[in-house]
Homo-oligomer: A and B are copies of this chain.
Amino acid sequence: KAREVLDHGFVRVIDYMGDDAAICQAARVSYGKGTKSVQNDEGLIRYLMRHWHSTPFEMCEVKLHVKLPVFVARQWIRHRTANVNEYSARYSILDREFYIPRAEDLAAQSVINNQGRGETLTGEEAERVLRYLKDDAGRAYDHYEEMISDEGQQGLARELARMNLPANIYTQWYWKVDLHNLFHFLRLRADSHAQYEIRVYADAICEMVKDWVPAAYGAFEDYRMGGANLSGRQL
């Protein structure tokens, strides 16, 4: 049921409320009687998406369990219209699990886009990067364990020791969001401007949403992901 993402991550649906029919049911509250026959569900959903009638999409809700590197979590959490419960590194001990990119994902800084990637690193440079990432993470975790250990010493508070750990360590959370705001998240994070490591999570969620609400997902794909925004000047 869980979809694996990156080297140790995953996305898993815990629960959901509503479906394509629930979107239409809510939209039809607005229209009252006398409009029974308006449109079939898919047509209505496409109409709502096209005209930015977003509130009926808020009537669906999904709760995910996600395991993800901290630097991805830092981007993700910026989406405020969600409910979150994260693993506490004050309360509990983090696992020794770090995101180490695959060779083909070790990208150079883009020379044209300050916020992007260019070619894949190769040869010695790639090797050195991987060695640094692995060694530094390993050492940081060894020291984390040593610092919190209470054998023969007091043991540093976990909330302090964890600050030694790098941003590629994995965390996890429950994340619950409505479908409108999930689409907004997906539009921004399944987009080519988003960092690859969050994009793969967004892509995995896209697959799940496609199964869950196929008509809504189709409309989203057509009007938001595949669409274009022209300015008045361009028109």
Contact = CB atoms under 8 A, between A and B. Distances in A.
Copy count, this protein chain: 4
A205 to B, nearest CB: 17
A207 interface: no
Contact of A114 (B91, B160, B172, B233): B91
Given A27-B85, A133-B164, A163-B166, A157 B235 contact: no
A148 B109 contact: yes
Interface residues of A, number: 109
Given A85-B26, A231-B222, A235-B226, A91 B31 contact: yes
Nearest to A49: B231
Interface in A116-162: 116-119, 121, 125, 128-129, 132-133, 136-137, 139-140, 143, 146-148, 150, 153-160, 162
Interface of A: 15-18, 22, 25-27, 29-35, 50-52, 55-56, 58-59, 61, 63, 65, 69-71, 73-74, 77-78, 80-81, 83-88, 90-93, 99, 101, 106-110, 114-119, 121, 125, 128-129, 132-133, 136-137, 139-140, 143, 146-148, 150, 153-160, 162-168, 172-174, 176, 178, 188, 193, 195, 221-223, 225-235
